[in-house]
Amino acid sequence: MNNLQFIRPANVQAACEALKKPGFMAVAGGSDLVVKIRNGLYPDLEGLVDIGDLAPLNLIRTDENRVIIGSGCTMHQIISDRLMQDYFPTLVKAASTVGALQIRNSATIGGNVANASPAGDTIPALYSLEARVLITGCNGTRKLPIEEFFLSPGKTKLETGELIEGFSLLLRKTRGDFLKLGERRAHAISKINMAVSTWNDGRDHWRIAMGSVAPTVLRCQEAEELLEKAVSKDDDLLNQAAELACNTARPISDLRSTSTYRKKMAGVLLKRCLESLTK
Amino acid sequence: MSNNLIKISFSLNGARVETEVTPQLTVLEMLRRNFRLTAAKEGCGKGECGACSIMLNDHPINSCLKLAATLKPEDRVISVEGFSEDKLMRNIQEAYVEEGAVQCGFCIPGMTMASYHLLKHNATPDEHAIKQALSGNICRCTGYRKIEAAVKKAAERTKANE
């Protein structure tokens, strides 16, 4: 570790080439990675590849009917972007709950996803917005629906020599809410988090995703269908949806919370989100 | 020691500087070792306590989590020392002293940095705004009420002197 190498690639292709070498990892904001390196979690680390400032990774741009959020965009960039605020409030709210101000100025959305923590706050928001992960490697690009990207805690389908270029979202106005339960309001890792997005393209669509209740983020499709079919969103219906969320959650007990509490809170958080969106 | 030294260049407290760093050296360690700027401190080393807060391109960051090697020539780093002639920062520092907000003092450089960023963007913050702005900074002497009072006082004084 004392002989780490450090590579500052000129472009994305050069970064992918550098990431092919065994033991090389990409670094952007550093807010997760530096702590992990210091804690000795990467004994085989040989070098770092600085992708923090590579264009177009640090831009939010539109591409025909889609929006591409570069993986190097910081939480602060997402929160203060007008298009994000207008079209994807779920993601803006999720990004606002990450760490505290200082972290949000460093932490990137690509890092939050690549880190693949079951508690990563932007991940359920991206699920609820049907994001696609844009992956670049030495032999070209590929894209995956975000739901297919994660294998297990800390493990993704990203292969050696690949990096996340960004996230592609359909450019459509959505409404949404994001709630997280932690020990305190700032700087808390979620005991459980909940993202709900809804849009109307002639009929109502609902997407519900929750984190910290399984090895990877879970969608609650039964509750989504219930909401899409319902004519009136009365209290009874919201309670039914909440119960479905409790049944879908399959959390573990760990140092942050217990399985029973998390399961119960899945329903509480979903109901609160739905109340704010159906008022 | 590593022999992989990386040359970096950036703006530090208004002056262009060059230095050499190892890949894993953080901005905090660089400030303290290479430049002897010791206001920013390492509390937790995990980005939770905010004692290492500095400004990077006008935004406060945890300097203990930013690798110095990732600094770019166009980056502007400001530590508390860089604000020694700044009127707003002086108001903040004086208010901290007058309100008895400084106990052991370890968290104060970070606290004043977060206060500075708040008052730059919101000249008349309410209690909630102050709490939120300081939520990334921890004081283990638990002097939060005095710190919040100091921020309020600094805001009032800055506004009165305009």
- Kindly state the percentage of chain A with pLDDT values over 70: 99
Find the closest chain A residue to B118 by CA distance.
Answer: A101
* Domain termination site, one of B82, B117, B135: B82
Domain that holds residue B27: 6-82
At A65 the pLDDT is: 96
Q: Do residues B70 and B105 both lie within one domain?
A: no
Residue B12 near residue B63, CB atoms below 8 Å: no
Using a CB–CB cutoff of 8 Å, tell me whether A9 touches chain B: no
* Domain termination site, one of B28, B49, B82: B82
Tell me the C-alpha to C-alpha distance, in Å, between residue B87 and each of A75, A261, B13, B93: 30, 50, 15, 10
Q: In what order do the strands lie in the sheet with A24-27?
A: A5-7, A47-50, A24-27
**Domains in chain A with CATH codes:** 5-50 (3.30.43), 53-279 (3.30.465.10)
Using a CB–CB cutoff of 8 Å, tell me whether A102 touches chain B: yes
Which tokens in the block code for residue B49? 């306590």
Q: Do residues B62 and B127 both lie within one domain?
A: no
- Do A105 and B133 lie within an 8 Å CB cutoff? no
Using a CB–CB cutoff of 8 Å, tell me whether B129 touches chain A: no
> Mutate which of A37, A58, A102 to disrupt the B interface (most B C-beta within 10 Å)?
A102
- Do A103 and B45 lie within an 8 Å CB cutoff? no
Using a CB–CB cutoff of 8 Å, tell me whether A34 touches chain B: yes
- Kindly state the percentage of chain B with pLDDT values over 70: 98
Q: Do residues B69 and B100 both lie within one domain?
A: no
- Do A103 and B60 lie within an 8 Å CB cutoff? no
- Of the partner residues B2, B61, B133, the one whose CB lies closest to the CB of residue A4: B2
Q: Do residues B92 and B136 both lie within one domain?
A: yes
At A88 the pLDDT is: 98
Using a CB–CB cutoff of 8 Å, tell me whether A56 touches chain B: no
Does residue A56 have a cis bond before it (omega within 30 degrees)?
A: yes
Q: Do residues B95 and B146 both lie within one domain?
A: yes
B1 domain-assigned: no
pLDDT in tens, B5-33: 999 999 999 999 999 999 999 999 999 99
pLDDT in tens, B30-55: 999 999 999 999 999 999 999 999 99
- Do A185 and B60 lie within an 8 Å CB cutoff? no
B58 domain-assigned: yes
Q: Do residues B77 and B94 both lie within one domain?
A: no
pLDDT in tens, A187-246: 788 899 999 999 999 999 999 999 999 999 999 999 999 999 998 999 999 999 999 999
At A187 the pLDDT is: 77
At B3 the pLDDT is: 64
How high is the ipTM of this complex?
0.94
* Domain termination site, one of B45, B60, B82: B82
B108 domain-assigned: yes
Compute how many other C-beta atoms are within 10 angstroms of the C-beta atom of residue B56: 20
Compute how many other C-beta atoms are within 10 angstroms of the C-beta atom of residue B35: 15
CA angle A206, A209, A210 (to 5 degrees): 145
Does residue A124 have a cis bond before it (omega within 30 degrees)?
A: no
pLDDT in tens, A128-165: 999 999 999 999 999 999 999 999 999 999 999 999 99
A77-85 mean pLDDT: 98
Find the closest chain B residue to A28 by CA distance.
Answer: B70
* A39/chain B closest Cα distance in angstroms: 10
Q: Do residues B13 and B61 both lie within one domain?
A: yes
Q: What's the pTM?
A: 0.95
* Local confidence band at A2 (pLDDT 50, 70, 90 cut-offs): low
Q: Which residues contact B142 (CB under 8 A, 6 or more apart)?
A: none
Q: Do residues B46 and B67 both lie within one domain?
A: yes
- Of the partner residues A8, A99, A102, the one whose CB lies closest to the CB of residue B53: A102
How many structural domains comprise chain B? 2
Closest CA to A88 of A9, A7, A175: A175
Using a CB–CB cutoff of 8 Å, tell me whether B7 touches chain A: no
Using a CB–CB cutoff of 8 Å, tell me whether A1 touches chain B: yes
* B2/chain A closest Cα distance in angstroms: 5
Find the closest chain A residue to B66 by CA distance.
Answer: A30
* Local confidence band at B1 (pLDDT 50, 70, 90 cut-offs): very low
In this predicted structure, the answer to whether residue A185 has a pLDDT above a threshold of 80 is no
At A53 the pLDDT is: 84
> Mutate which of B7, B67, B113 to disrupt the A interface (most A C-beta within 10 Å)?
B67
Q: Do residues B98 and B135 both lie within one domain?
A: yes
In this predicted structure, the answer to whether residue A20 has a pLDDT above a threshold of 50 is yes
Q: Compute CA B131 distance to the chain's CA centroid, rounded to the nearest angstrom.
A: 17
pLDDT in tens, A193-207: 999 999 999 999 999
- Do B136 and A37 lie within an 8 Å CB cutoff? no
Bridge pairing between strands A175-181 and A192-200: antiparallel
B29 domain-assigned: yes
B66 domain-assigned: yes
pLDDT in tens, A25-73: 999 999 999 999 999 999 999 999 999 989 889 999 999 999 999 999 9
Residue A217 near residue A211, CB atoms below 8 Å: yes
At B143 the pLDDT is: 82
pLDDT in tens, B93-106: 999 999 999 999 99
At B14 the pLDDT is: 97
Q: Do residues B61 and B21 both lie within one domain?
A: yes
Q: Which B residues, 54 through 73, put their C-beta within 8 Å of a C-beta on chain A? A: 56, 59-62, 64-67, 69-70, 72
- Do A31 and B65 lie within an 8 Å CB cutoff? yes
Closest CA to A223 of A172, A276, A165, A269: A269
The overall average pLDDT reported for chain B is: 95
CA angle A30, A106, A218 (to 5 degrees): 80
Chain A hits for B62, Cβ within 8 Å: 31, 102-103, 106
Q: Do residues B102 and B44 both lie within one domain?
A: no
Using a CB–CB cutoff of 8 Å, tell me whether A105 touches chain B: yes
Q: Do residues B70 and B135 both lie within one domain?
A: no
Q: Compute CA B123 distance to the chain's CA centroid, rounded to the nearest angstrom.
A: 19
Q: What is the CATH number of the domain that holds B98?
A: 1.10.150.120
* B161/chain A closest Cα distance in angstroms: 28
